[in-house]
A = this chain, B = another copy of it.
């Protein structure tokens, strides 16, 4: 799934451990968490972190990319759904709820459009989301004037809103419904 040069089995395993640990630590303390904290959480030495990610910036990017990859993956899976409107809503809700405890996802999403390195992941996300959106629009489940950038912006924003309401599940549900309702075509009746 990650288009990296072939690594030794143990190295790949450590890379995964690091990504998981970094995601966790960054979610808890923000990306200002120290590299040593990440190393400790992964159960490796700092040196190992820097062997895999020569710069903290690169570690952060890698975490974002991993998230984007999961997102694109989810979008791909749902694209096959028989009900494009439901697929779209499910994707939106899942993504945005997934961010509730992982604030960095917001930033990851924010980069889907402008990722500097390994632009393939960004393209993958955009393509997968594009399919989901277009199908939903063809099924008259989503306003026809909404574009892919709009959708990315709304995902970023709604994730942020949901994150902000992390301790109020009912509020989260209402907020997501507001945005999804807003995304319906003008004529459509609201679900309520």
Residues of A within 8 A of B (CB): 32, 106, 110, 143, 145-147, 149-150, 152-154, 156-162, 164-165, 168, 171-172, 174-175, 177-183, 186-187, 189-192
Contacts and interface: CB of A to CB of B under 8 A. Distances in A.
A175 B153 contact: yes
A177 B150 CA distance: 11
A189 B190 CA distance: 10
A165 B192 contact: no
Contact of A146 (B145, B146, B178, B179): B178
Contacts of A150: 165, 171, 174-175, 178
Given A149-B168, A164-B152, A175 B157 contact: yes
Contacts of A161: 153-154, 156-158, 160
Nearest to A190: B186
Identical copies in the complex: 4
Nearest to A181: B182
Contacts of A183: 178, 182
Contacts of A172: 153
Given A153-B162, A153-B175, A157-B175, 15 more contacts: A143-B192, A145-B174, A145-B192, A147-B174, A149-B168, A150-B165, A150-B175, A152-B164, A153-B172, A157-B158, A157-B161, A157-B162, A182-B183, A186-B190, A186-B191
Contacts of A160: 106, 156-157, 160-161
A91 to B, nearest CB: 16
18 contacts: A143-B178, A145-B192, A146-B174, A150-B171, A150-B178, A153-B161, A153-B172, A153-B175, A154-B161, A157-B158, A157-B159, A160-B160, A160-B161, A177-B182, A181-B182, A182-B182, A182-B183, A186-B190
